[in-house]
Amino acid sequence: MHPDSARRFLSWRHTAFSVVLSLLLVGCQLQPPEPPDEDKAVIDRMLVLVDERLDVAPAVAKAKWNSGAPIEAPEREAQILDQVTAQAGEAGVDEDFARRFFEKQFEASKQVQRRLHHQWLQEGRSPFADPPDLAEDVRPVLDRLTPQLIEALADIERIAEVEGSGRYLQRRAQELVRDDFDGEPRNVSIQPLMERLAR
């Protein structure tokens, strides 16, 4: 290679390297901040619990399909909401936040139930041979999850101002909260958390 050509090539390579390095540095600076690992663990735990609670909805739907009980039970829901709100307040969680959170868990569950009932109606589904028992099979699971969710809410409040926590929650919800429909029950269930956490 001619000396001038070699110099031009080396100069071009140096310039190209500098441009690539600059772009990488800028890219690193533009990356949105991630919460610390311990705060990510708090969010992951909350999402796993939300998923566990939402996973109960199909069992409730089956029990109500067989019994003919309505999906909506406003008096029962109001009673439970009053109880969990009081429990959350005793645990130091903001009561309005806790009430809104559990309202959305109820709504997400009912969305799943309504869609399953609609699907079964379209299919002409007969009653299930061995449906879950609400008192024996479902309520013990919900009773176990409720105090865990209240504890997780307290942790969420603690990290509420951590930058990037809301983005992390939204991203991880896609992986940790299963949703067999169009994502709407998932979005409903995490809405109060998204409103609470910093973006």
Q: Quick one: pLDDT band at residue 2, thresholds 50, 70, 90?
A: low
Query: What are the CA-CA distances from residue 146 to residues 45, 46, 129, 165 (Å)?
Result: 14, 12, 29, 23
Q: How far apart are CA 65 and CA 127, in angstroms?
A: 7
CA neighbours within 13 Å on the CB side: how many for 68?
0
Tokens of residue 127, six digits: 């009653």
pLDDT tens digits, 98-130:
999 999 999 999 999 999 999 999 999 999 999
pTM of the model: 0.83
Instruction: Give the tokens for residue 129.
Output: 């041979």
Residue 8: the pLDDT is 60
CATH superfamily of 35-196: Chorismate mutase (1.20.59.10)
Instruction: Sketch the domain layout of the chain as residue ranges.
Output: 1-31, 35-196
- Residue ranges in the chain assigned as alpha helix (H): 3-30, 37-54, 57-67, 74-90, 95-123, 139-158, 165-176, 184-196
CB-CB contact of 85 with 147 (8 Å): no
Is 2 in a helix, a strand, or coil? coil
Interval 53-79: pLDDT, tens:
999 999 999 999 999 999 999 999 999
pLDDT score for 31: 75
